[in-house]
Amino acid sequence: MPKQGVVPDELTAPFWTAANEQRLVIQHCTNCNRLQHPPAVQCARCAEGKLEWQEMSGLGHIYSYAVVHDGPVRMLKEGQPFNVAIITLDDDPNIQMLSHLPGTPSGEVPVKAAVQVVFEDSANGQKIPEWKVIE
Amino acid sequence: MKVFDEAPEDIFRSEESLGVWEHRGKVAAVGIGHAPTMRRWDNDPETCVGAISICALRQAMADAGVDPGQVDGLIIDPVTATGAGWPKDKPIPQDMLARWQATDDPLDGLTKNSIAWLLKNMPELTGIQFAMNASGCMSKALVAAVQAVGDGETHTCLVLKAWHNFEGRYYQGGDNENDSLPGTAALTALTNLWGAPACSATAIQFNEYCHKYGKSHAMMAPFMENSRRNGLLFPEGYWAQHRPEELTVQDYLAARWIAEPANLFDNDLPIMCSGAYLLTTAERAIHLAQTPVYILNHASSRAVPRSIMPTLEEVEVETARTGRKIYEGAGIIVEDLSFENMYDGFSLFHQFHLEGLGFRGVGQGEALDFYQTDISIHGPNPVSPSGGNIGSGRSRFWMHTDSIQQIQKRAGARQITGVPSEIGVSGGPMPMGGNFTVWGVAPD
């Protein structure tokens, strides 16, 4: 199920560049010593400080999920139903990412299971972080 | 005329420990106005979103027995849809341009409201001295208006929210239709690479709720049945006007999934509708045509999630905090509530609001069991007597109309009978991020 392509913009370019190098990076405020995702132009807590991109371990857990049967994105309709899970990062469980959980049948999601990041090609070749259940 | 492009954040009571609201019982709702609902716009200029807004405003004034020239405040939510835009290359219909006085923005009255457009097309509003936008939903505009009247910025104030709905499905088109996404949009919750529809965040929270407390989606059925039943007794609502169909447990359980565990009926139905209220001071209200309903407090939630979407834990913390703010500012305790009319558009988060209030002693993880008891308008525990968006279509204001009508004792067939209708609470939309109003039969 190929996802839409991604055209990196100024704010998110480091995230997408790292993904193409099979690395997961997340914004980190050096003032608060705090991660934040999705990326923003300033720290959501202190509204100042320097934001740098910090490499993550690539490990996480499944928080919860839904199964999309009727979604709005044209390119994904053919693959319905599919899982959309919230992944919490082991580096900081407050930080979430989304995942289709490739390899996990829809509706058969092992909630709270450990997952590991993988990188998939999107429609325009940009690599996108995805998450697979660790057997 | 004093005009605010947007309500300043400092008028909202979003913090705890603010004490009893300084204008408790000094502001009252009197008049209510609604235009007839429609599923979608029929392309008639007489039923465009601007037209139905004017209809609701005029009804609210007539209902209150107020001459339009006496109104000195107008507070609106200018936004009239969440997912139904006007195509960029589609011209504005000529008959719209001929029928209505246009502003600089040709979409005014068609896909949005503006104070300028309304005043141009309601020449009878000759006394407006205070005008404000409060974008988001009626709950926010209402709270802004309540505070403005309390502060003396306006003594007779109209508050408005309307919705348009066009052909086609919400959120189909735009980025969702494209082969690629901008990098930032790709990482946000709703327009994202993972194709999650609008109800997904709530569905995920609800899934975690069921996981944590050992509940199931099927346990929502009595709430859904009750909401539609109440909605069918709401003559101003869509289902009562156009599709007087009961929703049975079997119907609900058999409905197709949108984002499992959210099914078709867990999503509210987008419609064309408008709602307006007339607020005034408690002193003036007693001389008007309808029984005053006194505002005992307003409270707001401004919490933001730590990451992409609120977790169940974040929601539970914030709704409990909202409950405390509601009671503290109103100077009441939970046992004083006759009914609760919290938001339901998505149905799967109504229980978060209800548990945050602690309505009838219901704690976290207990609402779905509570739904299996008598939650009807004739029982001791009226839950969502308005029927909400689920019962009457997407408006985000039925709960306010019902709260006023319940306390005025003019809710008709929907009037609660199991308990005296004396104090109620309504508001929303989201469990994290909303505005709430406490209504009372007496000012003290």
Whether B184 has its CB under 8 Å from any CB of chain A: the answer is yes
Whether B292 has its CB under 8 Å from any CB of chain A: the answer is no
Helix (H) or strand (E) holding B367: helix B367-370
Summarize pLDDT for A39-87 with one digit per residue, the tens.
999 999 999 879 999 999 999 999 999 999 999 999 999 999 999 999 9
Whether B256 has its CB under 8 Å from any CB of chain A: the answer is yes
pLDDT at B88: 81
> How far apart (Å, rounded) are the C-alpha atoms in residues B127 and B155?
11
Of the candidates A9, A71, A97, the beta carbon closest to that of B182 is on A9
Asked if B304's CB is within 8 angstroms of A6's CB, the reply is: no
Asked if B194's CB is within 8 angstroms of A86's CB, the reply is: no
Q: Tell me which residue of B36, B77, B35, B38 sits closest to B57, measured CA to CA.
A: B35
- Structural tokens at position A63: 């928080």
Whether A65 has its CB under 8 Å from any CB of chain B: the answer is yes
Distance to chain A for B201, nearest Cα, Å: 8
pLDDT at B189: 67
Give ipTM to 2 decimals: 0.97
Whether A56 has its CB under 8 Å from any CB of chain B: the answer is no
pLDDT at B83: 67
The position carrying tokens 């959309």 is A84
Q: Which residues of B174-193 are buried (b: 16+ CB within 10 A; e: fewer)?
A: ebbebebbbbbbbbebbbbb
State the alpha helices, DSSP H only, in A35-131. Answer: none
Asked if B195's CB is within 8 angstroms of A65's CB, the reply is: no
Contacts of B178 in chain A (CB under 8 A): 4
Whether B200 has its CB under 8 Å from any CB of chain A: the answer is yes
Structural domain spans, chain B:
2-169+270-285
Question: At the top level of CATH, which class does the domain B2-169+270-285 belong to?
Answer: alpha beta
Helix (H) or strand (E) holding B299: strand B293-301
pLDDT one digit per residue (tens) for chain B, 444 residues: 999 999 999 999 999 999 999 999 999 999 999 999 999 999 999 999 999 999 999 999 999 999 999 999 999 999 998 766 788 889 999 999 999 999 999 999 999 999 999 999 999 999 999 999 999 999 999 999 999 999 999 999 999 999 999 988 777 777 888 999 999 999 986 667 999 999 999 999 999 999 999 999 999 999 999 999 999 999 999 999 999 999 999 999 999 999 999 999 999 999 999 999 999 999 999 999 999 999 999 999 999 999 999 999 999 999 999 999 999 999 999 999 999 999 999 999 999 999 999 999 999 999 999 999 999 999 999 999 999 999 999 999 999 999 999 999 999 999 999 999 999 999 999 999 999 999 999 999
The position carrying tokens 């045509």 is B289
Distance to chain B for A26, nearest Cα, Å: 11
Contacts of B87 (CB under 8 A, 6+ apart): none
- Structural tokens at position B296: 């005992």
Amino acid residing at A112: K
Contacts of A107 in chain B (CB under 8 A): 260
pLDDT at B188: 82
> How far apart (Å, rounded) are the C-alpha atoms in residues A68 and B171?
15
CA distances from B363 to B67, B319, B334 (A): 47, 11, 12
DSSP lists the bridge partners of residue B280 as B28, B156
Asked if A124's CB is within 8 angstroms of B193's CB, the reply is: no
Instruction: Give me the phi and psi of A94, to 5 degrees please.
Output: -75, -15
Interface of A with B in 71-110 (CB under 8 A): 71-76, 81-82, 84, 86, 94-100, 107
Could you tell me the pTM of the whole model? 0.97
DSSP lists the bridge partners of residue A130 as A118
Asked if B195's CB is within 8 angstroms of A68's CB, the reply is: yes
Asked if A4's CB is within 8 angstroms of B193's CB, the reply is: yes
Pairing relation of β-strands B130-133 and B2-4?
A: parallel
Distance to chain B for A57, nearest Cα, Å: 18
Is residue A1's pLDDT more than 80?
Answer: no
Summary count for chain A: helices (H), strands (E): 1, 9
Q: Tell me which residue of B193, B246, B197, B244 sits closest to B224, measured CA to CA.
A: B246
**Cα dihedral across residues B317, B319, B321, B327: positive or negative:** negative
pLDDT at A49: 79
Whether A4 has its CB under 8 Å from any CB of chain B: the answer is yes
Contacts of A86 in chain B (CB under 8 A): 204, 308-309, 311
Interface of A with B in 29-48 (CB under 8 A): 36-39, 44
pLDDT at B190: 61
Q: Name the 3-class secondary structure at B388.
A: helix
Distance to chain A for B392, nearest Cα, Å: 23
Of the candidates B177, B193, B261, the beta carbon closest to that of A74 is on B177
Whether A7 has its CB under 8 Å from any CB of chain B: the answer is yes
pLDDT at A97: 96
> How far apart (Å, rounded) are the C-alpha atoms in residues B62 and B145?
19
Cβ neighbours, 10 Å, residue B380: 12
Contacts of A105 (CB under 8 A, 6+ apart): none
Whether B278 has its CB under 8 Å from any CB of chain A: the answer is no
Whether A61 has its CB under 8 Å from any CB of chain B: the answer is no
Whether B194 has its CB under 8 Å from any CB of chain A: the answer is yes
Apex B155 CA angle, B150 and B158, nearest 5: 100
**Cα dihedral across residues B366, B370, B372, B373: positive or negative:** positive
